[in-house]
Amino acid sequence: MKLSLATLEHMFSQDHRLRVFNDTVPAGILVISIDDGRMVFSNRFFNEVLEVDTASILGHGWQELFVDHEERNRILEVFAEQGEVRNFELRLRRRDGRQIWGLASMSEIPIEEEGLLLFAFVDITALKEAEAELRALADHDALTGLLSLRRFRQEIERAKARAERHASRFAVMFIDLDRFKAINDTLGHEAGDLVLKEAARRLRESIRSADTAARIGGDEFVVLAEGITPELAEAIAERIVASIGRVFLLPHGTACIGASVGIALHPDHGADPLALVKAADRAMYTVKRASRGAVAFAGR
């Protein structure tokens, strides 16, 4: 004969071995009724991490705990296929609405005829946050906040795939700051860093919101602009030159620099992303040798 929910709750709250679980196991433990998904027991760690108390959740459906119900459905699918779940990453919702990351396992409790699941998880929120910080560091330049060269390479490969799929153009702009070395030599590297950060801010303001900007070297930047015409690419590059050309206000004086910009278009100047960056770089050096503070297209 199956036990009632109240009897099961009493059993799990009074059993001495389960009280040991409640007091000592450094993992969240939840017992769930297979029949209707109602929660039967939760241990102390579970309650502390999710900021709930046992009395407030018993009898409620465990689906209330999930941030994403697709994750709940997936863990049930894995359990149905394999008879257990091991090391499944998912997000759970705390009482205050914030989410935590858990590394969960699930198996059936061998109590005859009762149909219960043991759901256990460890809190890996700190690990996930650290991973996100590392990804952000890898994807962004620490000084300016622009994308890193590594991330830019990924973005240009994706842009190539989209352009070929939709038969559209994209532009790569290579920007080098003029007279920047003199800032470091005369005013010091701290002033140079301030100029770089301000130049990056002006660069972001000069391009479209959908465009991508990255810092790839000391005073070298690149811009990826998709769905663009040569005329619009030139107009954006000229905005960059004009913006960088304005006076930079520093704590102990001012600085005047400029920007030289080379532009390469896909597919006009090549299909390979790396070749396009090199073509834009060569066009930029054409400007450097001729006049500085101007724009040039590859192949001209």
Higher per-residue pLDDT: 156 or 41: 156
Average the pLDDT over 148-155 and give the result.
93
Q: Quick check: 9 pLDDT over 60? A: no
Query: Can you give the pLDDT at residue 59?
Result: 81
Residues 190-238 have pLDDT tens digits of: 999 999 999 999 999 999 999 999 999 899 999 999 999 999 999 999 9
Q: Using an 8 Å Cβ cutoff, are 295 and 241 in contact?
A: yes
Q: How confident is the model at residue 3 (pLDDT cuts 50, 70, 90)?
A: very low
What amino acid positions are annotated as catalytic residues? Answer: 219
Q: How far apart are CA 66 and CA 100, in angstroms?
A: 10
> Residue ranges of the domains in the chain?
5-130, 140-297
Closest CA to 259 of 251, 270, 248: 248
Higher per-residue pLDDT: 262 or 27: 262
Q: Quick check: 300 pLDDT over 80? A: no
Matching fold, domains 5-130 and 140-297: no
Q: How confident is the model at residue 1 (pLDDT cuts 50, 70, 90)?
A: very low
Q: Quick check: 89 pLDDT over 50? A: yes
296: part of which helix (H) or strand (E)? strand 295-297
Q: What is the pTM of this model?
A: 0.64
| CATH code of the domain occupying 140-297 | 3.30.70.270
**Bridge partners, residue 220, by sequence:** 176
Query: Can you give the pLDDT at residue 202?
Result: 98
| CATH code of the domain occupying 5-130 | 3.30.450.20
